[in-house]
A = this chain, B = another copy of it.
Amino acid sequence: MKPFTAVRSESVAALGEVELIRRLGRWLAPVSPPSPRGMGDDCAVLPASRRPQLITVDPLIYGRHFDAGLAPERAGAKLLKRNLSDIAAMGGRPTAAVIALTLDPRVRIDWLRRFHRGLALCARRFGVSIVGGDVAQANGVLAASLTLLGCSTGGRFLERRGARPGDWIYVTGSLGASERSGHHWSFTPRLAEGAWLARRAEVRSMMDVSDGLAKDLWALAPPGTEPALEGAAVPLRRGAGLAEALGEGEDYELVLVVGARSPRAAFERAFKRAFPRTRLSCIGRFERPARIAPGSLRLRDYHGYEHLR
């Protein structure tokens, strides 16, 4: 569905801000608590939190993260799921979100309705309350920025740092061909897996793969090491080659580090029992350059997605 319309009566300009915000409230009603816990005041009031919290922000921009070929419901869900993947990457549980919309006056009301319907269904599925937001106008723009809060699921948070030389690198699911396969909108954020992994002593650090392993994995590498991967072990999505799996991005999988001396076989068995349908692959380890075996795949030969290039 094309998000812009030349017919004024079908556009958000025909509603104006006050009526648009009223409709946003209706569209989000299933996941939007009453004021002051939700929309309708200067701020939303959130309950006290006995546990440490998480915060992350990610946008969805027309022409960058989706186009007219993607159903609005799927775009709405994708906005939230991009953020959920960041909460999953720390082993957290999502709680509440606010959304800042930036709209051209020609944005179609019906597009926006369907976008919020997809967003609300996804929010309900993952237990997220939409507690507030903002609507602003900018010509030629259709963008939404979502800020998501989360909390601990009981254990620690898994950070990016924590790996040591010799540690093993694992990845969930499969990589590459995300755009072509529709994975970029159809993926399930790895919240359950992330929470489970945060409770396992074997796991030292974790992140999600969003810009491609070739770019992202460096963030987990202990100083003085680099990832030495076994090319054949990298789990490829159907239709993807190794370069696509390492460099395309939008995988929204978890990449995690398991201690060098951890009982790996028991860890892998326990994961398989907990998540029989989620693939978990050991793809290599962090090594000092001098120790890297000649046949290893060197990540420096591949490139991830870099914004603003």
Contacts and interface: CB of A to CB of B under 8 A. Distances in A.
Interface in A281-309: 306-309
A137 B308 contact: yes
Interface residues of A, number: 70
A307 B17 contact: yes
A58 to B, nearest CB: 5
Contact of A308 (B44, B51, B54, B135): B135
A137 B59 CA distance: 10
A103 interface: yes
B16 A308 contact: yes
Interface in A47-64: 47-59, 61, 63-64
Contacts of A153: none
A155 interface: no
Contacts of A124: none
A55 B46 contact: yes
Nearest to A85: B42
A253 B69 CA distance: 45
Interface in A188-213: 207-208
A72 to B, nearest CB: 18
Interface in A123-158: 131-141, 143, 145, 147, 149-150, 157
Contacts of A18: 306
A106 B197 CA distance: 42
Given A44-B55, A308-B16, A309-B13, A100 B145 contact: yes
Contacts of A135: 307-308
A100 B100 contact: yes
A136 B60 CA distance: 9
Contact of A160 (B42, B46, B56, B308): B42
| 5 nearest A-B residue pairs (beta carbon) | A42-B89, A147-B147, A17-B307, A43-B54, A100-B145
